[in-house]
Amino acid sequence: MSTNALSQHYAEQVQRVQDGLPGAIPEWLAGRRRGAAARFSEAGFPDPRQEEWKYTNVRPIATKPFMAAVTDAPLSEEALRAMGFQGLDAYRMVFVDGRLRTEFSDLADLPAGVTVQGLADALASDPDPLEPLLGTLAHDRFSSFAAANMAFLTDGAVIRLGKGVRLERPLHLLMVGSAGGPATWSHPRVLIQAGEGSDATVIEHYADLEGASGFTNTVTELRAEAGAQLRHYLLQDHADSAYHVGSVFVQQRRDSRVTSHNVNLGGRLVRHDLNVDLTEPGAEIELNGLFLVGGRQHVDTHTRVHHSSPHTTSREQYRGIGQGHGRGVFKGRVLVERGAQKTDAQQHSANLLLSPNAEIDTKPELEIYADDVKCAHGATVGQLDETSMYYLRSRGIDAEAARGMLVFAFADEVLERMELAPVRTSIERRLAARLPEAGAIDVIG
Amino acid sequence: MLKINNLQARVEAAEILKGIDLEVKAGEVHAIMGPNGSGKSTLCQVLGGRDGYEVTGGTVEFMGKDLFELEPEERAREGILLGFQYPVEIPGVKNIYLLKEAYNAQRKHRGEPEADTFQFLKLVREKLKTMQMDESFLHRAVNVGFSGGEKKRNEILQMLVLEPKLALLDETDSGLDIDALKVVSEGVNRLRSPDRAIVLVTHYQRLLSHIEPDFVHVLSGGRIIKSGDKTLAHELERNGYQGIIEEAA
């Protein structure tokens, strides 16, 4: 489609959404959406001339006239089970093409002090409490994708944990793509407000029904108040023909602790940004990431950890595996502000290339403006260790199985940090299934 | 069992093995001794099938098969097991998993049913006791964070579990204190049997006071320059390699 026709198309889409906003939209929200729509229209999709998009050409996305997906696709319990995590006892919210489907959701027995709602419901019934939460961490100036998410916002999840509340079971947000057309998009938004001293696990999980090939454009805003403990899983297991762009924004206050597990297995073209701001002393984040790219997949992961207060800690371990013609990117920025003394930041990126046609770029960036800090980073890109291969083979294990064991072990060093065993096991199996040479891996071993 | 005939090999441009002849029969224990750089490790790696070790002449037969026709894993399944001088650390692969995969690969090769986890654990626990290793070793990553002695014990543990026809031990005694040396030797002695052969490759005589060899060979400059019974090791202890090398020259 020509550039003019595309601009026309998106102008109409914006108008349609504005006209269709549910109920009496408060002015703060209408204003934010108008602003976002204007920014999206003006900036358009990013291009590789922009430093932040140097490794990722979004042309396959930017040349399509995306429209909202039809949301009443049928969905069977069986299909949900296949996508889910066997043995996981969790609260569940299921979204199809970005829309909450309450009939598949299970939020029974939430403890007092915990609110879990669909975003569309929350906006329709009582929008004002969302004013400080929605769009305040994720500025749409961040990227035109974030702007598009705000402009085309339809639904999502709102999770609010009151002071001192502990959510014993994890909350599983299953975001299912069902649309078969190549030009449908959805814009889920997840808002998490973890109150003082609260404790919870939230699994944000993207998957597709067979044949789905849409574009999912997500934004997550997560606030951890003083002393909150939050474990956030972001698992992207889309169909290989799907597009996914997502940003997570994390803001942490005093003595809060957040653990992020970010796994990218599927998707044709994937970009993920994780932005963390450690704003008060004692805030601590652990970032664990894994991506696997094969076939013609392209996965670009960026992390930015902002130590804006003294005595803050970050531990980051990202791993990438490239096979086939896969292309992976890790760009990790750690910024230590002037005055953020006693910052302790460690970042490590390790990458494994299994095919001569795969490519992984890793780019750690440390920017330090304080003088009393402990910061370390390392990045490697390599092939399987020949000595390890020989050692395993010398024990009678054939080359193929040995390769599988080593690749799996490499990935598992990240996955084993997941506290939820059913999720870990399921991801291990899905990973093994995507490694042709590791098909025979006994995950239990 | 093992017949090495005029074996020559090189690593990159360097000729290391210059014609080795050796025959090892079932039930025998051979010690191959030699100074640093004599070709001991190269001989082990050539027999193990490691890449980068190029055979330039001669033949090696194992149980009637041409060894050089076999991949490293096939050699292991046929019954040659190489104990590494420097056992490799493999992060993320649990010891128990490696042992079980190796054990079952061998059983599969012999057309036997694979052992289940329960049967296998029972077998391994018994072997752990011999090696005075705690069960926690099974659940640690292969050799990662093991001390030098623990690594060597782990090599012998693998031998005890896999029960090779020919155990080839490359400098298994290096880096062991006296207590670890005793445990490792005890493990190796357990392997001794009329239908199994053991080849010990070592620099020092001290291992041989714990594991008594039937034959001792002195390797120097890529050739076996002298063979004898265990008294040859004592002679080496007294006179050093230099004496024997000069005598052979």
Interval B12-24: pLDDT, tens: 989 999 999 999 9
Q: Which residues of chain B have pLDDT under 50?
A: none
Candidates A393, A409, A442; nearest CB to B72: A393
Candidates B51, B91, B98; nearest CB to A395: B98
Under an 8 A CB cutoff, do B48 and A394 touch?
Answer: yes
Does residue A296 lie within any of the structural domains?
Answer: no
Domain, as residue range, for A399: 385-445
Under an 8 A CB cutoff, do B93 and A396 touch?
Answer: no
Is the pLDDT confidence value at A445 over 60? no
β-pairing verdict for A91-96 and A99-100: antiparallel
Which among A256, A255, A236 has a CA at the least distance from the CA of A244?
A: A236
Does residue A179 lie within any of the structural domains?
Answer: yes
Does residue A242 lie within any of the structural domains?
Answer: yes
Tell me, what's the pLDDT at B239? 83
Is the pLDDT confidence value at A444 over 70? no
Does residue A353 lie within any of the structural domains?
Answer: no
Measure the N-to-C terminal CA separation of chain A; round to a whole number of Å: 52
Under an 8 A CB cutoff, do B88 and A387 touch?
Answer: yes
Does residue A198 lie within any of the structural domains?
Answer: yes
- The CA distance from A346 to the nearest CA of chain B, in Å, is 20
Dist. CA A165–CA A194, nearest whole Å: 9
Candidates A397, A405, A408; nearest CB to B73: A397
Same domain, A129 and A242: yes
Chain B interface, mutation test: which of A387, A392, A406, A415, most B Cβ atoms within 10 Å?
A392
Under an 8 A CB cutoff, do B50 and A391 touch?
Answer: no
What 3-state DSSP class applies to A77?
helix
* Number of residues in chain B: 249
Residue partners of A283: CB distance under 8 A and separation at least 6: A224, A252, A253, A254, A255, A256, A257, A309, A312, A313
Domain final residue pick, A280, A315, A340: A280
Chain A interface, mutation test: which of B73, B118, B166, most A Cβ atoms within 10 Å?
B73
State mean pLDDT over A156-180: 94
Other CB atoms within a 10 A radius of the CB of residue A257 amount to 18
Domain, as residue range, for B141: 2-248
Chain B interface, mutation test: which of A290, A319, A393, A394, most B Cβ atoms within 10 Å?
A394
Candidates B50, B73, B77; nearest CB to A399: B73
Continuous segment of H or E residues that includes residue A174 = strand A171-177
Dist. CA A339–CA B176, nearest whole Å: 51
What 3-state DSSP class applies to A42?
helix
Number of domains, chain B: 1
Is the pLDDT confidence value at A203 over 60? yes
**In chain A, whose CA is at the least distance from the CA of B94?**
A445
State mean pLDDT over A181-199: 92
Dist. CA A327–CA A121, nearest whole Å: 39
pLDDT in tens, A38-84: 899 888 899 888 889 999 999 999 888 888 877 677 888 899 999 99
Q: Are B189 and B101 in contact (CB under 8 A)?
A: no
pLDDT in tens, A355-397: 999 999 999 999 999 999 999 999 999 999 999 999 999 999 9
Tell me, what's the pLDDT at B247? 80
Dist. CA B55–CA A122, nearest whole Å: 75
Is the pLDDT confidence value at A135 over 80? yes
Q: Are A388 and A399 in contact (CB under 8 A)?
A: no
DSSP class of residue A110 equals P
Task: Give the CA distances from residue A155 to residues A220, A245, A267, B61, B78, in Å, rounded to whole numbers and listed in that order.
Answer: 12, 16, 22, 72, 62
Q: Which alpha helices (DSSP H) does chain B contain, by range?
A: 40-48, 72-78, 95-109, 117-130, 148-162, 178-191, 231-248
**In chain A, whose CA is at the least distance from the CA of B91?**
A409
Residue partners of A79: CB distance under 8 A and separation at least 6: A209
Number of domains, chain A: 2
Under an 8 A CB cutoff, do A401 and B106 touch?
Answer: no
Does residue A84 lie within any of the structural domains?
Answer: yes
Dist. CA B7–CA B17, nearest whole Å: 7
**In chain B, whose CA is at the least distance from the CA of A414?**
B92
Tokens read off for A312: 């803050």
- The CA distance from B9 to the nearest CA of chain A, in Å, is 19
Same domain, A264 and A391: no
pLDDT in tens, B212-222: 999 999 999 99
pLDDT band at A182 (very low <50, low <70, confident <90, very high): low
What CATH number does residue B45 fall under? 3.40.50.300
Task: Give the CA distances from residue A241 to residues A76, A145, A182, A238, in Å, rounded to whole numbers and listed in that order.
Answer: 22, 19, 9, 8
* A391 contact residues in B (CB cutoff 8 A): 84, 87-88, 90
* B88 contact residues in A (CB cutoff 8 A): 387-388, 390-391
Same domain, A130 and A258: yes
The complex's ipTM? 0.96
Chain A interface, mutation test: which of B88, B96, B151, most A Cβ atoms within 10 Å?
B88
pLDDT band at A181 (very low <50, low <70, confident <90, very high): low
> To the nearest 10°, the Cα dihedral for A339, A340, A341, A346?
-150
Interface of A with B in 390-409 (CB under 8 A): 390-399, 401-402, 405-406, 408-409
Candidates B77, B87, B101; nearest CB to A401: B101
Which among A409, A401, A386 has a CA at the least distance from the CA of B104?
A: A401
Does residue A221 lie within any of the structural domains?
Answer: yes
What 3-state DSSP class applies to A371?
coil
| Average pLDDT of chain A to the nearest whole number | 92
Domain final residue pick, A228, A263, A280: A280
Does residue A343 lie within any of the structural domains?
Answer: no
**In chain A, whose CA is at the least distance from the CA of B100?**
A445
Same domain, A18 and A165: yes
| Average pLDDT of chain B to the nearest whole number | 93
Other CB atoms within a 10 A radius of the CB of residue A419 amount to 12
Under an 8 A CB cutoff, do B88 and A386 touch?
Answer: no
Q: Are B200 and B207 in contact (CB under 8 A)?
A: yes
**Burial of residue B3 (number of CB atoms within 10 Å: 0-12, 13-18, 19+):** middle
Dist. CA B63–CA A433, nearest whole Å: 39
